[in-house]
A and B are shown apart, each in its own frame.
Chain A
């Protein structure tokens, strides 16, 4: 079921690729996703096999272009015309036949925008190739790659590799621990394939079911902690310290996974908890290896520090699909983000 949700999510994302997302479109996207899931489930319930059902669901809507134009009263596309809408045509009286209206073509605007976007992408691609080509040739000829330039005149960030062109030349920076999700859904961290834990973080939907959980509501709190990546290894959830502090212990997790995967999950979990629990100001996490308490990693996350890193408040407002996804792609996945936070939070 998770796979299907993922596939349908990606399909809907694809439908809206390149569109300027207004609040209205964000809602429409959510609505379309909900209906596609309902259709898929219905098909499967009627006996159709999962893969086939998925295909049919996708086929029920192949483009959202016709839904995008202004007031909706003059739409054109071969499969839909507004015709004589009940709302618009009221004064024609009994003598007006309800016949299909001639089609009006209003797609020119969206086609032009699309063409411009394509052109822009091609140009950006050419620029990137040229920019990478030049320093590579320089290296081949024994030339020196210029040293770190932090302010460039032009700067491109592509999938965790950043390129800046400044007064002093060209710089390519491959950021460590940057998380990259390719269009087909494969996840890599710093070039290496992700494992289950990191995939869980990437696929995790905003935990909005837990929005507004109170620190004194221990059963819901436990459920929240268990539902997050790393939840399986939770051994203790404590709120008995002074108000606003949450203490979480995880056991055996250091055995199961490499630290880079755990690091991302730690920051993700802290983010999720702050967003869901407005009363929590600080989260203390400790991770141990097997049952030994000797090797323990301890972290102290403060709400203020995390909110500063994300440049936004962590509360119920971020728990919708789009904002949550933006938190991940624009911050969590960026090289150095997770590392930076853990460095600040490290209590060892």
Chain B
């Protein structure tokens, strides 16, 4: 299976809402900081795109899973902060549970005892 960053990103994207809820569960944050947090938490393996972030935040706010408020920076750029609601925390819990179940299912389905083609020609157990 190809493991290019694009394919990985695609697969992760289905969980983007939960990922953001999780970041906010640790504390209120704003756009760029959320992205940084995600990059850091994924140990550099996943960089969320800024447009995806905005779309997701809009969705989350519409469903009342997060609330936003403006920061009080007095000069230059104001920042829009987000806080997770109780409903958001509940949803996070459910989404995490769903992910774990799904992960287990897929793990099982992708499990195989057949040796990889590049293994030894005796076709037996490969170390």
Contacts and interface: CB of A to CB of B under 8 A. Distances in A.
A73 B59 contact: yes
Nearest to A37: B77
A34 B79 CA distance: 5
A85 B17 contact: yes
Interface in A301-331: none
A166 to B, nearest CB: 46
Contacts of B73: 34
A96 B95 CA distance: 12
B1 interface: no
B111 interface: no
Interface of A is mostly: loop
A124 interface: no
Contacts, number: 123
Interface string B99-117: 1011001100000000000
B28 interface: no
Nearest to B19: A86
Given A30-B80, A72-B55, A98-B15, A86 B91 contact: yes
A37 B80 CA distance: 12
A75 B57 CA distance: 13
A66 interface: yes
Interface string A81-99: 1111111001000111111
A80 interface: yes
The residue among A39, A77, A95 with the most chain B CB atoms within 10 A of its own CB is A39
Given A34-B77, A79-B52, A80-B51, A86 B95 contact: yes
Interface residues of B, number: 46
A35 B63 contact: no
Given A86-B91, A94-B98, A100 B10 contact: yes
B94 interface: yes
Given A5-B77, A38-B77, A209-B75, A66 B62 contact: no
B50 A71 contact: no
Contacts of B36: 42
Nearest to A67: B54
Contacts of B60: 87
A37 B17 CA distance: 24
A35 B102 contact: no
Contact of A42 (B21, B30, B32, B105): B32
A233 interface: no
B82 to A, nearest CB: 10
A86 B17 contact: yes
Contacts of B59: 72-73, 82, 85, 87
A31 interface: yes
Main secondary structure, interface of B, reads helix
Contacts of A208: 74
A208 B75 CA distance: 8
Interface residues of A, number: 46
A66 B54 CA distance: 10
B27 interface: no
Contact of A35 (B50, B74, B101): B50
B67 to A, nearest CB: 14
A77 B54 CA distance: 14
A39 B50 CA distance: 11
Contact of B80 (A31, A36, A75, A98): A31
A205 B73 CA distance: 14
B11 interface: yes
A100 B78 contact: no
A31 B73 CA distance: 13
Interface of A: 5, 27-28, 30-39, 42, 60-61, 63-64, 66-67, 71-73, 75, 77, 79-87, 90, 94-101, 205, 208-209
Which 8 residue pairs are nearest across A and B when measured between Cβ atoms? A83-B14, A35-B31, A37-B77, A86-B95, A38-B32, A31-B80, A34-B77, A209-B74
27 contacts: A5-B77, A34-B32, A35-B32, A37-B77, A38-B30, A38-B31, A38-B77, A42-B32, A42-B36, A72-B55, A79-B52, A80-B51, A81-B10, A82-B59, A83-B13, A83-B15, A85-B17, A86-B92, A86-B98, A87-B60, A87-B63, A87-B91, A94-B101, A94-B102, A94-B105, A97-B102, A98-B98
